[in-house]
A and B are shown apart, each in its own frame.
Chain A
């Protein structure tokens, strides 16, 4: 998993498959970066994600809740069509989800 931090913006490039097994690990890693940099904006880039189920939704919501605690912003970008469908189903008011 790659990440980039620049001028208060933390971008995480998620990869491969987001299921219950991978999310458990990724969650801790992302939260470590959030705590370290305390970014004003978090960007989750899903361009490398090939598969995602509801565990990925849980991951996104969880990071969103954490970012809100820091009074920061979050964006989810570059989701493939099949992953967009799952995000849309989740009915979460993620004003941050952008399809770039």
Chain B
């Protein structure tokens, strides 16, 4: 199996979301991937990273997130976004469309809906007081063959 990956460790900071997004999109652009698929992955990634930065940590301490992008056999993209924060108590509630725990911040509650619509698989693994890992997978071989 041919695998390539890039891993970014970042302070949990909203200003770092754009650089993470751009870095991983640049990494993925080495694949023969349709621009629409690249935008899908970029958007889903942005949602997952935004969730981690915005919800995982309640204080302003020096907290970190780890974002990993893997390319397997040039046909599968796997994005892993990990935080070490408070965890999600009710995952199915968090994933409900239009639900937001922070309505005062004008959140649309669309993060998981976008991830699920734009990726083939979304796995949320969360332990309260321990952290959350979101794994996003997209098979690009299939999407390319669909387009041909």
Contacts and interface: CB of A to CB of B under 8 A. Distances in A.
Interface range on chain A: under 10, 10 to 19, 20 to 34, or 35 or more? Answer: 20 to 34
Nearest to A27: B106
A7 interface: no
A59 B108 CA distance: 8
Given A19-B17, A20-B53, A58 B117 contact: no
Contacts of B117: 89
B18 interface: yes
A8 interface: no
B136 to A, nearest CB: 13
Contacts of B50: 19-20, 53-55
A24 B104 CA distance: 12
B111 interface: yes
B148 to A, nearest CB: 20
Nearest to B38: A82
Contacts of B110: 54, 57, 89-90
Contacts of B114: 53-54, 86, 89
A12 interface: no
A17 interface: yes
Contacts of A58: 105-108
27 contacts: A17-B18, A19-B17, A19-B46, A20-B14, A20-B17, A20-B50, A20-B53, A21-B15, A51-B21, A53-B47, A53-B50, A53-B114, A54-B47, A54-B50, A54-B109, A54-B111, A54-B114, A55-B50, A55-B107, A55-B108, A58-B106, A59-B106, A61-B108, A82-B43, A86-B114, A89-B114, A91-B98
Given A53-B47, A57-B108, 19 more contacts: A17-B18, A19-B18, A19-B21, A19-B50, A20-B53, A21-B18, A22-B18, A51-B39, A51-B43, A53-B46, A53-B114, A58-B106, A58-B107, A58-B108, A61-B106, A61-B108, A81-B36, A82-B39, A90-B110
Contacts of B53: 20
A62 interface: yes
